C-alpha cells in the first residue's frame, strides 16, 4: 500500500468503497465543504509533471471546414491529414452545427450534476443497465489513484438507449447532440480516408460510425488541484473521438515532451484520433496522450465526448492495418485481431498511457 508522506496507514479499499457506496461523487464532496481531498485521489509526483510549467505558445491545429465541398476540400484534407499525423488532435469550426445545439448539450449536463444529491444519487450505478449510468471514475476500483470528476455515460449505438432510463433533465439535449456528432464524425472520417488515399466510405463500411458511447464529465472545483488530476493521462482506445467542451480550460495534449493546452474555441469541436485508427492507418495517423487538470476554478468544467467504435458483428469483427496501405516498403506494424479481443484487453486495465496498442504490434 502506498502511503502519503506523514500519513498513517489506512485501508484504501475500504475508503474507496465507502465513497462509492455514498453515491455522492466528487460534487458531493465539494458540497460537503471539504477542504482536503481523500487520500485515494492523491497522485504520485510523476503523474503531475508540468502542472505549473508555462504553456507553449502553439496550440493544436484549428481547421476551418467552410467550403468543404468547394475547391477548398483538398486543402482541408491535407490540413486534417497533417494534424492527425503530427498531433492526433485538432479543433474544427464552421462545421455546420449551430451554437444552440452545443450550448444546450453543455447546459443539460450542468443541470443534471447540479441537482440535489438525493436526486443525482438515484441514478448512481456502475452498471450500464439500459444504456445509461452515472458515477465517479469508471475505473475507481482498478486505478492506483482516483481523479476529480463525475460522469454520465450513455451507449448510443448501434442500439439506442432506452429513453426512459435517461434523466429527463438532459434526455433531449444529449440525444440531439449524439445525432449531430455522428453526422460530423461521418464528415471527418471521409476526410481522414481521403488523406490516406482510400475510398471516402472506407471507415463507414467498417462500421466505425455505429458503436458509440457518450461520456459527459463534470469537473467541480477541487480544493487541492496540485495533488490530483481531473482525468489521468491516456490515449483514447477508439477509432475517433468527438469532444465538446465549455469555456473552462483544463484539457491538455502531450506533444513531444510538452503538455499543450487545448484552448476552448467558441463554437469549436475537438476531434482526436484513437488507438484503433492508429492501427487501421498503420501509424499514418497517431493517437495522442491527453489529460485534464483538476479544476481550480469555482466554475465547473464540463465536457462531452462521444467515442466511435466498430460495431461488433460478423464479418466486420476483424481488424488490423488496411491492406490498401501495405506494401513491401510499408509492411504491417500490427497484427490482425477481433474487436472483442481489443475490448477485453481494454477493460482489463486501468485508464492510462497509450500502451494498449503495443499488445497488437508485430
- Which domains are delineated in the chain? 12-360 (2.60.120.330)
How many whole angstroms separate alpha carbon 337 and alpha carbon 310? 13
3-state helix, strand, coil in the chain (%, to 5): 30, 20, 45
Set of cell numbers at residue 120: 443525482
Distance, in Å, from the CA atom of 258 to the CA atom of 49, rounded to the nearest integer, reads 10
Q: Report the pLDDT value the prediction gives residue 5, as an integer from 0 to 100.
A: 42
What gap in Å lies between CA 219 and CA 26, rounded to an integer? 8
- Give the Cα separation of 274 and 305 in Å (integer): 12
pLDDT digits (tens, 9 = 90+) for 156-173: 999 988 999 999 999 999
Q: Give CA separation, 161 vs 102, 124, 165, 244, in Å.
A: 21, 17, 8, 21
The yes-or-no verdict on residue 73 having pLDDT over 90 is: yes
- For residues 149 and 109, is the Cβ–Cβ distance under 8 A? no
Mean pLDDT in residue range 311-322: 74
8 Å CB contact between 87 and 255? yes
Tens of pLDDT, residue by residue over 28-51, are 999 999 999 999 999 999 999 888
Is the pLDDT assigned to residue 289 strictly greater than 90? yes
As a whole number, mean pLDDT of residues 288-306 equals: 97
Q: Is the pLDDT of residue 351 over 90?
A: no
Distance CA 239, CA 343 (A): 12
How many Å apart are CA 307 and CA 153, to the nearest integer? 11
CA-to-CA dists, residue 77 to 69, 82, 219, 283, angstroms: 11, 9, 34, 17
Amino acid at each position: 500500500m502506498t502511503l502519503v508522506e506523514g500519513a498513517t496507514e489506512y485501508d484504501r479499499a475500504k475508503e474507496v468503497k465507502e465513497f462509492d457506496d455514498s453515491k455522492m461523487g466528487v460534487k458531493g464532496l465539494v458540497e460537503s465543504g471539504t477542504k482536503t481531498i481523500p487520500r485515494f485521489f492523491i497522485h504520485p509526483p510523476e503523474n503531475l509533471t508540468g502542472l505549473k510549467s508555462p504553456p507553449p505558445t502553439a496550440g493544436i491545429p484549428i481547421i476551418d471546414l467552410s467550403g468543404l465541398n468547394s475547391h477548398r476540400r483538398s486543402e482541408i484534407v491535407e490540413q486534417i491529414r497533417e494534424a492527425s499525423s503530427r498531433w492526433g488532435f485538432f479543433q474544427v469550426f464552421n462545421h455546420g452545427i449551430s451554437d444552440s445545439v452545443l450550448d444546450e448539450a453543455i447546459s443539460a449536463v450542468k443541470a443534471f450534476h447540479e441537482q440535489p444529491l438525493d436526486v443525482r444519487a438515484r441514478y448512481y450505478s456502475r452498471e450500464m443497465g439500459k444504456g445509461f449510468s452515472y458515477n465517479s471514475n469508471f475505473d475507481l476500483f482498478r486505478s492506483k489513484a482516483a481523479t476529480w470528476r463525475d460522469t454520465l455515460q450513455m451507449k448510443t449505438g448501434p442500439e439506442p438507449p432506452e429513453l426512459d432510463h435517461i434523466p429527463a433533465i438532459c434526455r433531449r439535449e444529449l440525444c440531439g447532440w449524439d445525432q449531430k456528432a455522428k453526422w460530423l464524425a461521418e464528415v471527418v472520417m471521409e476526410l481522414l480516408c481521403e488523406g490516406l488515399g482510400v475510398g471516402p466510405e472506407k471507415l463507414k463500411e467498417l462500421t466505425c460510425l455505429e458503436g458509440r458511447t457518450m461520456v459527459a464529465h463534470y469537473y467541480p472545483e477541487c480544493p487541492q488541484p496540485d495533488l490530483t488530476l481531473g482525468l489521468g493521462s491516456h490515449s483514447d482506445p477508439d477509432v475517433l473521438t468527438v469532444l465538446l467542451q465549455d469555456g473552462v480550460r483544463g484539457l491538455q495534449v502531450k506533444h513531444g515532451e510538452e503538455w499543450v493546452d487545448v484552448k476552448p474555441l467558441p463554437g469549436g469541436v475537438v476531434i482526436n484520433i484513437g488507438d484503433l485508427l492508429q492501427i487501421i492507418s498503420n501509424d499514418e495517423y497517431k493517437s495522442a496522450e491527453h489529460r485534464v487538470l483538476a479544476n481550480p476554478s469555482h466554475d465547473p468544467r464540463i465536457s462531452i465526448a462521444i467515442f466511435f467504435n466498430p460495431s461488433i458483428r460478423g464479418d466486420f469483427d476483424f481488424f488490423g492495418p488496411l491492406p490498401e496501405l501495405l506494401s513491401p516498403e510499408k509492411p504491417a506494424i500490427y497484427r490482425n485481431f477481433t474487436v472483442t479481443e481489443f475490448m477485453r484487453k481494454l477493460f482489463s486495465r486501468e485508464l492510462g498511457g497509450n500502451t494498449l496498442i503495443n499488445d497488437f504490434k508485430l
